[in-house]
Structure formats: structure tokens, C-alpha cells
Amino acid sequence: MAILKIFSFLLSAIAITAPFSGCQPSTSNNELNSKPKETTVNSTNSHTKLVSTSSKPRWSIAIHGGAGGDLDRWSPQQRQARIDGLQRALSKGKSMLSNSANAIDVAEAVVRVLEDDPNFNAGRGAVLNEIGEYSLDASLMDGSDLSCGAVANIRKSKNPISLARAVRDKTPHVFLVGDEADAFGIEAALPTETADYFKTQEQIDSWNEWRKRQDAKKNTTSRNDHNKPEDRLFYLGTVGCVVMDDQGALAAATSTGGLLGKKYGRIGDTPIIGAGTYANNKTCAVSCTGIGELFIRNHIASAVSSRLEFLNESLEQASRYAIEKTLPVDSGGLIAVDAQGNIETIYNTPIMARGQANSEGLYRVGLADWVDGEPK
Ligand code: ASP
């Protein structure tokens, strides 16, 4: 009899928690949610921050500003400029979500703030390719209906993420590239800019330094060249945003200038749905940053979602698998939010510019260590 009572108590407990579990693995999320304080996990080759709150947040947001760069190379002013840029973008997202904006609108608006900021490798301030020119890639995805838009190798639209949005909103297609994509942006009356706007002195200087290094190497580029730690300095600044809004909708957006010195015509993971960007309300929203070729080969963004959907893993387990088990050390990171509002910001590089906020008062940004709270 006692055993029967315990059994029926357990059944009713499961029934009470079920509405909050959605299609997510309820055990691990509930485990996370039951922890009173935030937990920090560091392992030898990755850094992750787990966010736990006592109840499901009404909304959650995470941003990234790239998994590359080197703190020692940046002056205190450059570090502060990047922190300030993250703060501006996160504040924008927070204020829109507090006013019940849609996930896709928030993801686009936040990425626009980061694209306009020359301290990040997207829009203005993009890195330069092997011939010293810029070309821009971006994509976004709405987890409500899997609608998405992507653009690559564009050079005119001031905000590549808004051009990707226009592809989603105004065409039956997913992906436009090159001059034709830029022409579509002009037809859609999106603002354009010229090289003077996109090419910053900081990026011209970085390109000159890269050129000297290439000349010194005097060898051909091999398939895994971008995987060498000394090249880490140059992976900086791609931007992204993932959101769960107060209706439970998820969205992801990512924008980049790619890798410094990339081959003319090269396209990375950022505009490839499933590689650099993915969102599905049933599972999670993911935005990646790092060596694009590795993220494409391992379709990292959709792999995280699939692990939730088919293996019943938690967001933490799936994100860790992608960054710690699938990818080699020093290849990049990702941000993700799931349908319960849990957030992951995980990377296997020394730093990743990133930020997290939710409706329960979480608010912080960081390059390596976190800076808590909104700026005064
Ligand atoms: N993933 C981007 C690319 O390969 C670069 C980055 O994230 O920094 O184009």
C-alpha cells in the first residue's frame, strides 16, 4: 500500500512539472532550474556558464561578439569599447523583450546594433579578405515556423542582417548571394553604404599585419590552416543573438565579415542555416562563431537542436557535446537558448565576447570574466 502511495505521488509530481518541460529533457532542465544560484563550470578546453532561475523566465536573450581575439593584444580602451558595444546590444534586446517584442524582431535589432559598431567583425568594421576587400554574410531564423533568410558575399547593404530578413519576408527563397543579393536590397529600399563606411582603419591595419605574416610564411595555405592557434588573433568579432520571447517563440541571428585573409569568394558557416544559425521553437535557438569550415562540416547549430529533439539531451549537454566533443580546441563557440529560457554561452577558445539577460534579473556581459549588471 505504502509503495502504491509513493508511486501515485510520483505520478502526480510528473503531471505537475510536465507543462514546463515542453519537448525538452525535463530532468536536466528541472535540475538546472532547481539550483538556487548560478553554477559555473570550467573544463580544460571550454568555458560555460549555466544560468539557473527558480522559475521559467518570461524571456531570455544571449548575444555574442565573436570567439576570437586576444585580450593581451587589446588596449584597455579596446576592451572597454567591446564591453560597451555588448552592453548597448544587450540593453536594446532587454528593453524590446520587456515590451513584449517578437523574438525575430529582437534578434534582428540586436544584431543591427552590433553590425553598426566598428568594434565587431560584422557590417562596419568587418575583416578583410586575401585581396584586402570586405564581403559580408548573415542569416536569421524564426523558430515559430522555421522561416529563415540568408545572404552572403554582399558589399552594399548597411545591415546585412536586415537584408537576410528581407529575403525571409519578401521572397519565397532562403539564400541570396553577391551582387544580386545587393540589388535585391536596393529594390527592397534598404539603406546602402560604400567601402569608406565598411572598411575601418583598425581592419586595414590588421590586414597589413596579416599580409606581412603571410609573406613571412612563404608557403601555400593548407586545408586546416585556420586551425592553428597563432591565427586565433584573427577570428575576432562575428556577432549573433538568440532569443526566447514572452510568447515562448525562439529566434537566432548571426552576421559576419568572415575570417581575415579568407579566399576571395569564400563563404563560412554564418549564413548557412543549420551550420552557423538555427532556431526551432520545439528545441532551441543557436548562433555560432569560430572557424566556419569546421562548423559547416559538423552542422553545429542544427546538431545542438537535434540532440535535444532526438536524444532528449539538455541544452547544456548538447552544447557541450558540440563544443567539447565535436570541435577541436580553439575553434570557436556558440550561444543558445532553449524553449524553457535556459541559456548557454560556451566556447573552446580563450575568450568569447558575450552577454546574457533574462526577465528574472540576469544581466551580464564579458570577454573572459563577466561584468555583472547594466551600465549606470
Ligand atoms: N564563423 C565565421 C566564419 O567562418 C567567423 C567567426 O565566427 O569569427 O565566417
SS (H, E, C) the chain: CHHHHHHHHHHHHHHHHHHHHCCCCHHHHHHHHHCCCCEEEECCCCEEEECCCCCCCCCEEEEECCCCCCHHHCCHHHHHHHHHHHHHHHHHHHHHHHCCCCHHHHHHHHHHHHHHCCCCCCCCCCCCCCCCCCCEEEEEEECCCCEEEEEEEECCECCHHHHHHHHHHHCCCCEEEHHHHHHHHHHCCCCECCHHHHCCHHHHHHHHHHHHHHHHHCCCCCCCHHHCHHHHHHCCCCEEEEEECCCCCEEEEEEECCCCCCCCCCCCCCCCECCCEEECCCCEEEEEEECHHHHHHCCHHHHHHHHHHHHCCCHHHHHHHHHHHHCCCCCEEEEEEECCCCEEEEECCCCCCEEEEECCCCEEEECCCEEECCCC
Of the listed ranges 16-20, 155-159, 161-165, 288-292, the least confidently predicted one is 16-20
pLDDT given at position 220: 56
pLDDT of residue 68: 81
pLDDT confidence of residue 215: 82
Mean per-residue pLDDT, 59-84: 91
d(CA 258, ligand 1 centre) in Å: 5
At 65 the pLDDT is 97
The residue from 44, 200, 221, 238 that is catalytic is 238
Distance CA 86, CA 150 (A): 23
Q: Flag whether pLDDT at 142 surpasses 70.
A: yes
Which ligand 1 atom lies nearest to the CA of residue 291?
4
List residues bridging with 260 in a β-sheet.
none
Closest to 275 in 3D by CA, of 263, 292, 260: 292
Ligand 1 atom having least distance to the Cα of 68: 8
Ligand 1, pocket residues at CB < 6 Å: 66, 68, 121, 235, 238, 256, 258-259, 268-270, 276, 289-292
pTM, two decimal places: 0.85
* Choice from 259, 297, 351 to test ligand 1 binding pocket (greatest atom count within 8 A of CB): 259
27 is catalytic: no
What pLDDT, on the 0 to 100 scale, is given for residue 191?
98
Q: Which atom of ligand 1 is nearest to the CA of 257?
A: 9
The pLDDT assigned to 224 comes to 58
Q: Could you report the per-residue pLDDT of 39-50, keeping only the tens digit for each?
A: 223 333 455 544
CB 279 within 8 A of CB 245: no
Longest dimension (CA), the chain: 81
Average pLDDT, the chain: 85
Give pLDDT, residue 73: 80
Judge whether residue 34 has pLDDT over 60. no
Q: Which of 139, 138, 143, 102 is nearest to 279 (CA)?
A: 143
Q: Which pLDDT band holds residue 72 (cuts at 50, 70, 90)?
A: confident
Measured from the Cα of 266, ligand 1's closest atom is 9
140-148 mean pLDDT: 98
Nearest CA to ligand 1 atom 7: 289
Per the DSSP assignment, residues forming a β-bridge with 137 are: 256
Pairing mode, strands 147-154 and 136-142: antiparallel
Half-sphere exposure for 15 (CA within 13 Å, toward CB): 6
Q: How far apart are CA 272 and CA 123, in angstroms?
A: 17
What integer is the mean pLDDT of 276-281?
Answer: 98
| Predicted confidence (pLDDT) at residue 157 exceeds the cutoff of 90 | yes
Q: How far is the CA of 254 from the centre of ligand 1 (A)?
A: 10
**pLDDT tens digit string along 216-267?**
776 555 555 555 545 554 556 899 999 999 999 999 999 999 999 999 999 9
Cα 329 to ligand 1 centre (Å):
15
At 51, the pLDDT band (50, 70, 90 cuts) reads very low
Q: Cα(78)–Cα(236) distance, rounded to whole angstroms?
A: 13
Q: Is the pLDDT of residue 59 over 60?
A: yes
pLDDT range class, residue 69, cuts 50, 70, 90: confident
Structure confidence at residue 42 (pLDDT): 36
Percentage of residues of the chain with pLDDT beyond 90: 72
Class of the CATH-defined domain 31-368: alpha beta
| Predicted pLDDT of residue 225 | 57
Instruction: Give the tens place of pLDDT for each residue, 306-323.
Output: 999 999 999 999 999 999
Higher-confidence residue of 177 and 374: namely: 177
Segment 338-344 mean pLDDT: 98
Give distance in angstroms: CA of 240 to centre of ligand 1.
11
CA 238 to the chain's CA centroid: 8
Contact 54, 30 (CB under 8 A): no
pLDDT band at 22 (very low <50, low <70, confident <90, very high): very low
pLDDT tens track for 109-141: 999 999 999 999 999 999 999 999 999 999 999
Residue 55 predicted with pLDDT over 70: yes
Mean pLDDT for 6-25 is 34
Instruction: Report the pLDDT averaged over residues 98-109.
Output: 98
pLDDT at 188 over 80: yes
Q: Give yes or no for residue 368 having a pLDDT over 70.
A: yes
Question: From the CA of 310, how far away is ligand 1's center (Å)?
Answer: 28
Please, are residues 141 and 278 in contact by the beta-carbon 8 Å criterion?
yes
